[in-house]
Amino acid sequence: MAAIIWTVVIAVFILLLFAAKTMEVLISSNWYRRWFAKRQRFLAKLSKGLFDPFKPKLFLDLEEHLKTLKGDVVEVGIGSGENFDHYPDGTTLIAVDSNPHVEKFLRANVEKVGDRIHLKKFVAASAEDMSCNGKVGVEDNSVAAVVCTKLLCSLTEDQIKKTIQEVKRVLMPGGRFYFLEHVAGNPWTFQYFVQHFLSKSLIWPTVTGGCCCDRETLYWIEQGGFKMVNSEKISANLTTEIFSGCEADMFSLWIARIRMSIVNSILVGFAEKGCYTEEKKLL
């Protein structure tokens, strides 16, 4: 009996390793990037009702911030530009995304918003290296704000740490990092255990392109050496209205509802970079 149990355990472990390796190869393939660039717009529509209620307050602070600190805004992991409706008029935007295939969808959406947003440039780069390995990317101390929504969940903890340091690198002194992410639920709740099981078993990352639903993102932001962090964690209410207007079949909506119930713990806020003379806190 013990031999059978150990055989099953080893078999499951091997399958999980195989799934993880398969996912790694798949999401790095050019075919997958093209497919995901098209699929991303549909996924954004399904999650719009869950995340959009938190955006007005976030982008209102951005608007006030840009009145006192003039400069460009970087959005990391911008996708096709689902945040365009929330940017203040006259925003000069530098778009950063690791998937170069999103650029054509992004530029199409820029044309729809007209003169309200000026797209300064598109940088095909990872969040951890916006300098593009020293090539022309985003320069040091060059932007007034960095916006990041629904991206950090798809990064490893090491990548999150590097991304936060990159954010600090490109921000001017006094610049702000605006974030909106789904994170781990409250400890010792049923949702918390489900999130950790789905992420640690690689089930969730495998079916969502690398996303993890158990991230303690605020911890890494607070350890990033910012002058100040202002944030709140909110459990979003799931109602039928959040999916209204979605052009999807019933099965897709059902899957989306289950998915949203797992990731409805939302972290929203901003962190401000200090001046050069302030002591830096290393990760």
Q: How confident is the model over 181-206, as pLDDT tens digits?
A: 999 988 888 889 999 898 888 778 87
Q: What is the pLDDT of residue 1?
A: 65
Q: What is the pLDDT of residue 281?
A: 43
> What are the tens digits of pLDDT across the range 253-267?
676 677 777 888 899
Q: Is the pLDDT of residue 82 over 70?
A: yes
Residue 226 pLDDT greater than 60, yes or no? yes
Q: In what order do the strands lie in the sheet with 72-76?
A: 117-124, 91-97, 72-76, 143-149, 171-182, 265-272, 228-235
Higher pLDDT, 134 or 257: 257
Which tens digit of pLDDT belongs to each residue from 92-124? 999 999 888 888 888 988 888 888 899 999 999
Q: How sure is the predictor about 25, in pLDDT bands with cuts at 50, 70 and 90?
A: low
pLDDT, position 24: 56
The domain spans of the chain are 2-272
Here the tokens at position 127 are 């969040």
Q: What is the CATH number of domain 2-272?
A: 3.40.50.150
Q: What is the pLDDT of residue 206?
A: 72
User: Contact at 8 Å (CB) between 248 and 46?
Assistant: yes
Q: How many angstroms separate the CA atoms of 244 and 48, rounded?
A: 10
Residue whose token pair is 């690689």: 202
- The number of beta carbons lying within 10 Å of the beta carbon of residue 77 is 21
Q: For strand 265-272 and strand 228-235, is the pairing parallel, antiparallel, or unpaired?
A: antiparallel
Residue 237, phi then psi, degrees to nearest 5 = -80, 130
Confidence of residue 27 (pLDDT cuts 50, 70, 90): low
Q: Would the pTM of this model clear 0.75, i.e. be above it?
A: yes
